[in-house]
Every structure is written in structure tokens, then in C-alpha cells.
Amino acid sequence: MRVPRFNMPFETGLAIAFARRSNHQWRLFEEARYRLIQSLSDLNGFEPFIHGGTPAGILQALMDAFLERPAEEEQLVELFGLLLTYRRKFMGVRFFEPRPFRTLVRAAIETRKKALLVAS
């Protein structure tokens, strides 16, 4: 029997609740326009960042979402390429075990440093 997964709506709710009690900000990204109204109608009136399911769309949505901390498109494209390299390297790895998770965290930190998006 298939059971629907509710991780993303649950995590969205946690982010919103945390933001209401702190200085935390949250963003919501969606592949298709108007789909949020069908899947999570309690957020009706909130405008998600639509990415269209493509790498270029995701990069554009990220740049739109984080205007107050802008990144150059070239930097994001470079970061995307680095992440693809790590994705191929880690195919089939179970990340919730301690060693692979630590390796993934180190890879993310190294990627961040290489992309120069955040000072190291």
C-alpha cells in the first residue's frame, strides 16, 4: 500500500512557525504556477518562487528570492556545476548514516568555498 508523504508541507509549517517567533525568514519554491493552491491551500495568497523544474529556472528563482543578498548568475552556475559533480560522486549513498552525512557536509562546505558565495 502506498502512503503519501507529508515531509515538505510539515517542514514548511515548521519554518513558518519558527519565523513567527524569531527573526527567521523563509521562502517557498514550487515547480508549477498555481499548484500550491491545490496542494497546500492554507498558503493561498502567498506567492511562491516558480522554477519550472529546470536548472536555469531554479537559478532564476534563487536570484529572485534572495535579492537582499545578491549573487551573480555566473557564481550560481558554477555552484550548480560543482554540486552536479558531487551528486554523481554520491549516487546511491545513504546520507542519513554518520560517515556519508559528514562527507556530504564537507563537500557542501568545500563547494561553498570554491563558489565564493560566502566568505570562508
Q: What is the 3-state secondary structure (H, E, C) of the chain?
A: CCCCCCHHHHHHHHHHHHHHCCCCCCCCEECCCCHHHHHCHHHCCCCCEECCCCHHHHHHHHHHHCCCCCCCHHHHHHHHHHHHHHHHHCCCCCCCCHHHHHHHHHHHHHHHHHHCCCCC
pLDDT of residue 120: 45
Per-residue confidence of the chain (120 residues) as pLDDT tens digits?
887 778 888 888 899 999 999 988 889 999 999 888 888 888 888 889 999 988 778 888 888 888 776 667 777 777 777 767 766 776 776 666 777 777 777 877 777 676 555 444
For the chain, the domains span 71-120
pTM > 0.85: no
pLDDT of residue 119: 47
pLDDT of residue 117: 53
